[in-house]
Amino acid sequence: MKKHLFNVCIVSAMCMFAIASCSQPAEQKEAPKSMQLRSLIPNENILIGATVNQWLVAADLGQAEHKIDDPSYQLVGSSEQMMIEVGVVPTQFNCVTSENCMKSEVIAPKKGEFDWVLADQFIEYAQKHNLTAIGHTPIWHSQTAKWICHNEDGSLVSADQLKANIKEYITGVYTRYKGKIKGYDVVNEAIEDDGSYRNSLFYQIMGEEFIDWSFQCAMEVDPDAELYYNDYSMSAPGKRATVVELIKRLKSKGIRIDAVGLQTHIGMDFPDLAEYEKSVQDFIAAGVDVQLTETDMSILPNPYTGADVATRFEYTAEKDPYKDGVIPEERLKAWQDRYKELFGIVNKYADHVKRVTFWGVTDASSWKNDFPIPGRTDYPLPFGRDGKFKF
């Protein structure tokens, strides 16, 4: 998903944490912990995860902030909220997803040059706390390093050059973290809701074959890593049908795809969970597992049901009804009940649902506070701004 997050004074807090070893494998044996979400997702085989940003990781490891040469990576929030999240993750989750540090514009900003600092810290953090690590997201139309799709003069690369660039990028990242990452969202958001392919630069240059090539490269570089296709609005029938076709096409070519990630950015009135369940059923029937990869549920009224990060609407007070932090009891109960309905689908298909990851740790770090309407106060995650469980 998107760039962001905390504007924190983390330096003073860093000394509270020690630096951990980097020699452990990707999936750790979980230490006994009382994860409160287990009351809603009781199957111990389902990983329960959160996305962590580079500032949380640095604070936990006691390391100085590694600045990204891009002003759009801004810090928001407070040091107090940051430290609450630092305490929540190791006790309430057993899996973490990299928010930005493995996106190509961050980890490979220039051709032939990799900036490993943030991704290395992410791995170190996961190993320190015995958390399964998930890589997000190698091939995506947003936050893409310019060199992958463009020549130095700004023109688009040829199909052959794009293949070479994708292979170079995937080979570099997957080789370095081989045995340390359980799985990758290899390709992200390549299909529109109507089932057509997104007219991204990847698609303009290579057509739908860029997906097949990306999975093939990933499979060859790290045969043990799980490989996922990840997208939002997966309840849309057109998107569902094309994803099923994609699964079948990859398998027919001998290209491995292990699971489909349903991002699950949902609201109080969207999607129809019957359609959502139909997608879960169809993906499983096509021969893959499913994962909820970026779960959140906005409690606010929303003019948009998708998750395209470029989409924005104008702020109005009526669209921000709980900015004072007071949510009517009946509204909170409705939010809880809808989450429980979603988790009912997870539990029903527990043999094939391998992971439920939330996009953020607490409401304070949720991208939904600024999407699709900037400046709102949302409450989409199971843990509130105070770090307390909301069920």
Average pLDDT (129-150) is: 97
Q: Which of 42, 56, 141 is nearest to 96 (CA)?
A: 56
Average pLDDT (196-213) is: 98
Question: pLDDT tier at 15 (50, 70, 90 boundaries)?
Answer: very low
Query: Mind listing the domains of the chain with CATH numbers?
Result: 11-369 (3.20.20.80)
Give me the amino acid identity at 203: Y
Strand (E) or helix (H) holding 297: strand 289-297
270 Cβ contact partners less than 8 Å away, ≥ 6 residues apart: 302, 305
Please spell the DSSP secondary structure of 53-77, one letter per residue.
-HHHHHHHHT------S-TTS---S
- The highest-confidence range among 13-17, 22-26, 95-99, by mean pLDDT, is 95-99
Alpha helices in the chain (DSSP H): 11-14, 54-61, 79-92, 104-107, 117-128, 146-149, 159-176, 201-206, 209-221, 237-252, 273-285, 329-348
Unique residue bearing structure tokens 């990781």: 57
Q: Which residues pair with 183 in a beta bridge?
A: 134, 226
103 Cβ contact partners less than 8 Å away, ≥ 6 residues apart: 136, 137, 140, 143, 144
**What is the distance between the terminal CA atoms of the chain, rounded to a whole angstrom?**
26
Q: Which residue has the higher pLDDT, 250 or 3?
A: 250
158 Cβ contact partners less than 8 Å away, ≥ 6 residues apart: 205
The pLDDT of residue 13 is above 70: no
Q: Which of 27, 85, 124, 189 is the catalytic position?
A: 189
CB 371 within 8 A of CB 142: no
* Cα 40 to Cα 215: distance, rounded to the nearest angstrom: 33
pTM of the model: 0.91
Unique residue bearing structure tokens 């309430």: 92
Summarize pLDDT for 266-307 with one digit per residue, the tens: 999 999 999 999 999 999 999 999 999 999 999 999 988 888
Active site (annotated) includes residue 341: no
Q: Which of 294, 314, 318, 341 is the catalytic position?
A: 294
Structure token digits, residue 65:
């902030």
Active site (annotated) includes residue 294: yes
The separation between CA 125 and the C-alpha centre of its own chain, rounded to angstroms, equals 17
* Cα 40 to Cα 216: distance, rounded to the nearest angstrom: 36
Q: Which residue has the higher pLDDT, 305 or 79?
A: 305
142 Cβ contact partners less than 8 Å away, ≥ 6 residues apart: 189, 309, 310
Percent with pLDDT over 90 in the chain: 84
CA atoms within 13 A on the CB side of 245: 11
Q: From the CB of residue 269, how many other CB atoms can be counted at a distance below 10 Å?
A: 10
